[in-house]
Structure 1
Amino acid sequence: MQMFSEVPVRGESLGAKKIVIVDDYEESCRLLAEILSSSYDCSYTSDSSMAVQLINEKKPDLILLDYKMPGLMGVDVCKSVRENEATRKTPIIFVSGAATIDERIKAFETGADDFISKPFHVKELILRIKARLSEKEPEVLAEIRAANLTMNLLSRQIFVDGEEINLTPKQFDILKMLVLSKNNLVTRERCLTEIWGDTEVTSRNVDSQINYLKRKISKFHGRIVAVPSLGYRLEAQE
């Protein structure tokens, strides 16, 4: 039995924001996903016990969450999201019917950003989603540096002493992670989760890409240091 479902984005929405929908009525999930799929990348589950797993896998930009569900209640899911460092700032909008004032207060106390009662007007829902996403919109980081190494995140180009270095997409993403975490540990598990996702690979794939990366940026004024049994750390001579 498939626990998660996705609705492809329609129209020109490359790089669309991701929304996860959780509602115990699958038809409600499907309807919301269809409505929003013209602008957003939507995934949903009608099994509340799988909601946290779906949210952790998709790392959405916003969550639409029902309040009353069998198994885990919406506030339980909300609490779990807020307790996870990776998702604690993700906007959560409760979309629920016949909620009492006490239930609405409980939702906000648990960490809800907004609460919409069913039935709702589609335009109101879309405007509230846009408002929450615009609040979350980060400043675009165009370039990062470490010593004599420069990464252009928009063009995905790497330069060492002004000389362009050709990297594969995964090597680029690993190096970006290392530079952004400069002088701090980046675990193999984090690389596998954030770069390979659901692909069946092992930590050896990370080690192999790191070795290629070291050779390609050999003129870098710094080094990529192996942290035994854990991962890697980038050190730069600033």
Structure 2
Amino acid sequence: MAANQAPCVLVVEDESAQREVLRYNLESEGFKVVMAENGDEALLLVAEENPDLIVLDWMLPNVSGIEVCRQVKANPETRSIPIIMLSARSEETDRVRGLETGADDYVVKPYSVVELMARLRTQLRRTRPATVGERLTFGDILVDATEYRVWRGGEKVTLGPTEFRLLSTLIEKPGRVWTREQLLDRVWGREIYIETRTIDVHIGRLRKALMVNGGEDPIRTVRGVGYSLD
């Protein structure tokens, strides 16, 4: 897996055997996996974990997968999370209903795990490209997430692991303002307690490294909020 915090995948599946197959394959690929057995639990975990992607079964007890999808996509804070819907329903009308509800992809059961992993990476390539080894550019800055290297204006930039993860996050969505809490979650993960002012220290180091050859500061500070790459 690339340099950023491993992407978190929420698996929502009521069949325990299917959950374990998905968990095994996802963890083998380096993903962090959280699991839910029903729609109610899924909605709680979406709020608590803010996953990078959701693998969602249509037929669930209590709240259906379609309703989970609808609520996730209706919430401005979660609507950008890709959802891959799994279903035994193979009719065109069912596919259309799933996609129109907001699912980003629709996979019919029984499915190939290899194909599902490929579809999952396709979605992550769109939303978190650094985690799947993409080369990312912004202006004269180039980040190679596979080789853990950075260049600016053709000159190699030396970064520590934390600064590399910060830059990889910022460059995925230029112009987006990331709060300190969001950066802490993305770069360090929720399991580790780090004070938010730690972000300011590492941003300072990143700025210094990127400006070492006299380049302009590409990082904008949004007072009282956080940072963006502009």
TM over 0.5: yes
Query: Is residue 2:60 matched to residue 1:79?
Result: no
Match of 2:36 in 1: 45
Distance 1:132 1:151 in 2: 24
Alignment of 1:162-201 (within 5 A): 162-198=154-190, 199-201=192-194
Q: For residue 158 of structure 1, report the CA deviation from its aligned partner.
A: 2.3
Deviation digits for residues 109-158 of structure 1 (CA, Å, limit 9, x no counterpart): 524543646xx5xxx453762674476474864241434x4433332222
The whole-number CA distance in structure 2 between the counterparts of 1:28 and 1:181 is 34
* Equivalent residue, structure 2, for 1:222: 216
1:152 is the counterpart of 2:144: yes
Residue 199 of structure 2 corresponds to residue 206 of structure 1? yes
Q: Distance in 1 between matches of 2:64 and 2:169?
A: 35
Q: State the percentage of identical aligned residues.
A: 21
- Give structure 2 stretches of 5+ with no counterpart: none
TM-score, length-normalised on structure 2? 0.67
Query: Aligned-pair distance for 1:77?
Result: 1.1
Correspondence for 2:11: 21
Residues 214 and 110 of structure 1, relative CA distance in 2, 3 Å threshold: closer
Q: Does structure 1 residue 126 correspond to structure 2 residue 116?
A: no
Q: Which moved more, 1:132-141 or 1:45-54?
A: 132-141
Looking at structure 2, the residues matched to 108 and 160 of structure 1 have their Cα atoms a distance apart, in angstroms, of 40
Larger Rg: 1
Shift in Å at residue 69 of structure 1? 0.9
Unaligned 5+ segments in structure 1 are 1-13
CA contact under 8 A between 1:146 and 1:179: conserved in structure 2? no
Distance of 2:171 and 2:100 partners within structure 1: 37
Decide whether aligned partners of structure 1 residues 150 and 228 sit closer, same or farther in structure 2, where only a CA change above 3 A counts. Answer: same
Q: Is the 8 A contact 1:66 1:74 kept in 2?
A: yes
Listed as ranges, the matches of 1:101-140 within 5 Å are 107=98, 109-112=100-103, 113-114=105-106, 116=108, 120=110, 124-126=111-113, 129=116, 132-133=119-120, 136=123, 138=125
Paired residues of 1:22 and 1:66 also in contact (CA < 8 A): no
1:165·1:217 contact (CA, 8 Å) conserved in 2?
yes
Post-superposition offset of 1:168: 1.5
Output the amino acid matched with 1:86.
S
CA RMSD after TM alignment: 4.0
CA distance in 1, matches of 2:205, 2:30: 36
Q: Closer, same or farther in 2 for the Cα pair 1:143/1:126, shift >3 Å? A: closer
